[in-house]
């Protein structure tokens, strides 16, 4: 039979944690009840029933069909999908570019090392919001009209209307060799697929900004590897690329992964700045819904819970990957 022992550090730790949890739950409950009471006294509507009402507004960019007759909950779903689209694309691109530039920061080539240094210092020291506005203005003001779009091999067209590019055409035989290619018709670009200027601006801004921080993380991880490991690999006549790929990076990963997780979380949360350039992400949809319904607390709570959930999922996934990559001693 287990007896209670106050002198036990484990027992005291559990009691202290339980007391702290009780205080936090009590404080949150009091704040919620007080807020709801004040809202009711002032005639402010509350509750999540509005999510099943008709939204009454259109969304310019959506991965799923949506029109103004749909409910608010579907509008929030569209915003969530647009946020995930930007976040996943940005994480994928900044990982690739960050690793390349981070390796370049410790390269033996002085020119490559210098260019990578200039890149990281330039992009990480300019506020992200300014970078987003810069890319957006470049795409919607400086780029040519669709009638005079910049084109590359007659397959890619870049203009104020966005980036048009070919996609596989599955309507025919299903063979991937058949392509739906963009083309001009009466001054418009038809066919293929088009990425909007808003999506391009937010993706480019997030990717280039976060890449600078990822590169520094990779550089620090590489420099944490003992020089003796590199010299041992050189004694085996391995090429610089083989040394980096098979000796340095695997050992550097245990240092790289934890701060890399922070950069992924930052990118996901920074995607909320898309509202500044009109991209219909979750925050943008929430603001529109808030202004129409007056359910400010509920709309903000939804956004908070979504970003909290995304952050926790990212952290759990990266922690699992970190445990897999950790060096296991015998």
Q: Is residue 118 part of a domain?
A: yes
Rg of the chain in Å (alpha carbons): 26
Residue with tokens 């997030």: 206
CATH of the domain at 82: 1.10.3720.10
pTM for the predicted model, two decimal places? 0.83
Q: Is residue 253 part of a domain?
A: yes
Distance of CA 300 to the CA centre of its chain: 19
Q: Is residue 182 part of a domain?
A: no
Q: What is the pLDDT along the chain (330 residues), one digit of tens a residue?
A: 455 566 677 777 888 888 998 998 898 888 877 877 776 777 666 778 889 999 989 998 888 999 999 999 999 999 999 999 999 999 999 999 999 999 999 888 899 999 999 999 999 999 999 999 999 999 988 888 887 888 777 788 888 888 888 877 665 544 555 577 877 776 677 777 888 999 999 999 999 999 999 999 999 988 888 888 888 888 888 887 788 888 888 888 888 999 999 999 999 999 999 999 999 999 999 999 999 988 888 899 899 999 999 999 999 999 888 888 776 655
Q: Is residue 179 part of a domain?
A: no
Q: Is residue 6 part of a domain?
A: no
d(CA 39, CA 34): 9
Domains of the chain: total: 1
Q: Is residue 3 part of a domain?
A: no
Contact 143, 160 (CB under 8 A): yes
Q: What is the DSSP letter of 54?
A: B
Q: Is residue 190 part of a domain?
A: no
d(CA 131, CA 301): 28
Q: What is the DSSP letter of 246?
A: I
Alpha helices in 224-271 (DSSP H): 227-235, 240-243, 249-270
Which residues are bridge partners to 179 per DSSP? 168
Give the phi and the psi of residue 168 in degrees, each rounded to 5. Answer: -60, 140
d(CA 324, CA 187): 54
Domain hosting residue 134, numbered range = 72-154+197-325
Q: Is residue 22 part of a domain?
A: no
Bridging pattern class, strands 162-165 and 156-159: antiparallel
Contact 183, 217 (CB under 8 A): no
Contact 273, 128 (CB under 8 A): yes
């Amino acid at each position: 039979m287990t007896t209670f022992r106050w002198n036990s550090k484990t027992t005291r730790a559990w009691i202290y944690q339980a007391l702290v949890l009780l205080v936090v739950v009590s404080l949150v409950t009091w704040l919620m009840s007080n807020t709801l009471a004040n809202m009711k006294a002032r005639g402010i509507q509350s509750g999540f029933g509005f999510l099943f009402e008709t939204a009454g507004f259109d969304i310019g960019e959506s991965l799923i069909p949506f029109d103004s007759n749909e409910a608010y909950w579907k509008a929030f779903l569209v915003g969530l999908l647009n946020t995930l689209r930007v976040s996943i694309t940005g994480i994928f691109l900044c990982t690739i570019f960050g690793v390349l530039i981070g390796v370049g920061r410790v390269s033996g080539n002085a020119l490559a090392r210098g260019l990578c240094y200039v890149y990281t210092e330039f992009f990480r020291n300019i506020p992200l919001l300014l970078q987003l506005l810069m890319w957006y203005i470049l795409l919607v003001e400086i780029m040519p009209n669709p009638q005079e779009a910049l084109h590359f091999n007659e397959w890619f067209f870049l203009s104020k209307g966005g980036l048009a590019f070919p996609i596989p055409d599955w309507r025919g035989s299903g063979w991937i060799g058949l392509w739906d290619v963009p083309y001009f018709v009466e001054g418009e670009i038809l066919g293929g697929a088009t990425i909007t200027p808003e999506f391009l601006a937010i993706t480019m801004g997030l990717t280039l900004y976060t890449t600078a921080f990822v590169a520094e993380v990779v550089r620090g991880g590489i420099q944490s590897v003992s020089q003796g490991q590199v010299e041992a690999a050189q004694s085996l006549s391995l090429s610089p690329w083989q040394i980096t790929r098979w000796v340095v990076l695997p050992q550097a990963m245990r240092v790289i992964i934890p701060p890399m997780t922070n950069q992924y979380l930052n990118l996901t949360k920074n995607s909320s700045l898309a509202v500044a350039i009109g991209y219909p992400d979750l925050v943008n949809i929430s603001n529109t819904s808030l202004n129409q319904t007056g359910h400010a607390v509920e709309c903000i709570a939804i956004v908070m819970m979504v970003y909290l959930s995304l952050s926790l999922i990212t952290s759990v996934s990266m922690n699992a990957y970190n445990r897999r990559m950790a060096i296991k001693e015998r």
